[in-house]
Amino acid sequence: MRRREFTTMLVGAAAWPLAARAQQAGKLPTIGYFSPHGRSFDSNLFAAFVGRLRELGWIEGRTVAIEYRWAEGRNDALAEIAAEYVRLRVDVIVTSATPPTIAAKQATSVIPIVFAAVGDPVGVGVVASLARPGGNATGLSLQQTDAAGKRLGLLREVIPDLRRVAIMANSDNASTLLDTREAQAAAGTLGLGVVTSEIRRAEDIAPAFDALKGRAEALYVCSDPLVNTKPVRITSLALVHGYRRCSAFASSSKQQV
């Protein structure tokens, strides 16, 4: 999907609750921009988001206010950010990735939530179904888990003598747990052995690689905000340990919910 098409859908979904509440006296309609990453990682995305809002007549600081919050890959910060948005009574929460979307959904059943890049919104309980999401959340699904078999098949083509694959995932992310199960099932179908490694914090990454040393010929990394904020570190460690890294993020597709 092209960036402009993606941003147009995201902004369109976010704008309707603003329009509905724009008449509140003394208060600009407010968007809570809830990122699991850092400002630098999201710079292109939120610049496109603000630019498209401007094209639609929503000008930051004049006709709309935006409250930015950056979790910097820390899942332990998500609940407090979501609770803060509820206290601020923002008009809509815009999220990216599964963990902040779940945190927002748990914090409020009233404030509309527009999510981008959730791996399996039905599987993690964010929406009732893709056709009829219901509730207060809508957005885009990556359909991430559906492609696990294809990614592992590609990895086996790259490494014909592949016998055992290591799967690294953030165990605090419900979406990556689903991805892990799909990857394990796909590996079994391909006749591959599997060893898993769980990470929860940036400090867990290096020890996880040490624990996997010599136990597999290839590495499958489940996409996650923590992983996405540490790509250089993970890639460097993968190369040092002789792995060929397969990232779930690069080949995912999006579907509107």
Greater confidence (150 vs 35) lies with: 35
Alpha-carbon torsion, ordered 167, 171, 176, 181, to 10 deg: 60
Average pLDDT, stretch 52-71? 94
Greater confidence (217 vs 147) lies with: 217
Buried b (16+ CB within 10 A) or exposed e, 175-211: bbbbbbebbbebbeeeebebebbbbeebebbeebbee
Q: Are residues 27 and 134 in the same domain?
A: yes
Q: Based on the structure, what is the number of domains in the chain?
A: 2
Q: Which of 141, 157, 173 is the last residue before a domain boundary?
A: 141
The answer on pLDDT for 58 being more than 80 is: yes
The answer on pLDDT for 173 being more than 90 is: no
The answer on pLDDT for 12 being more than 60 is: no
The answer on pLDDT for 168 being more than 90 is: yes
What pLDDT, on a 0 to 100 scale, did the predictor assign at position 257? 56
Q: Are residues 114 and 237 in the same domain?
A: no
Greater confidence (112 vs 161) lies with: 112
Query: H/E element holding 6?
Result: helix 3-21
Q: Hey, which residues does 32 pair with through a beta bridge?
A: 67, 93
How big is the CA angle at 139 (ends 109 and 223), to the nearest 5 degrees?
105
In angstroms, the Cα distances linking 187 to 39, 70, 159, 168, 217 are 36, 35, 14, 14, 13
Which of 77-91, 121-135, 194-208 holds the top average pLDDT?
A: 77-91
In angstroms, the Cα distances linking 6 to 11, 48, 80, 121, 250 are 9, 10, 28, 17, 16
Per the prediction, the chain carries an average pLDDT of 83
Q: Which of 141, 164, 187 is the last residue before a domain boundary?
A: 141
Percent of the chain with pLDDT over 90: 43
Domain-located, residue 204:
yes
In angstroms, the Cα distances linking 203 to 40, 73, 198, 207 are 21, 12, 12, 8
124 pLDDT band, cuts 50/70/90, is confident
Average pLDDT, stretch 62-78? 92
Q: Are residues 67 and 174 in the same domain?
A: no
What pLDDT, on a 0 to 100 scale, did the predictor assign at position 254? 45
pTM for this predicted structure? 0.68
What pLDDT, on a 0 to 100 scale, did the predictor assign at position 256? 54
Percent of the chain with pLDDT over 70: 83
The answer on pLDDT for 227 being more than 70 is: yes
Q: Are residues 12 and 124 in the same domain?
A: yes
CATH number at residue 16: 3.40.50.2300
Average pLDDT, stretch 71-94? 94
User: Own/partner pairs for 125-132, CB < 8 Å, 24+ apart?
Assistant: 125/174, 126/98, 126/101, 126/102, 127/257, 130/255, 130/257
Q: Are residues 48 and 164 in the same domain?
A: no
Query: H/E element holding 139?
Result: strand 137-141
pLDDT digits (tens, 9 = 90+) for 183-223: 999 999 999 999 999 999 889 999 999 999 889 999 999 88
Domain-located, residue 257:
no
Q: Are residues 184 and 117 in the same domain?
A: no
Domain that holds residue 188: 145-251
The answer on pLDDT for 48 being more than 80 is: yes
Q: Are residues 96 and 65 in the same domain?
A: yes
- Beta strand 245-247 with 193-199 is unpaired
157 pLDDT band, cuts 50/70/90, is confident
Domain-located, residue 152:
yes
Q: Which of 113, 141, 169 is the last residue before a domain boundary?
A: 141
Q: Are residues 134 and 9 in the same domain?
A: yes
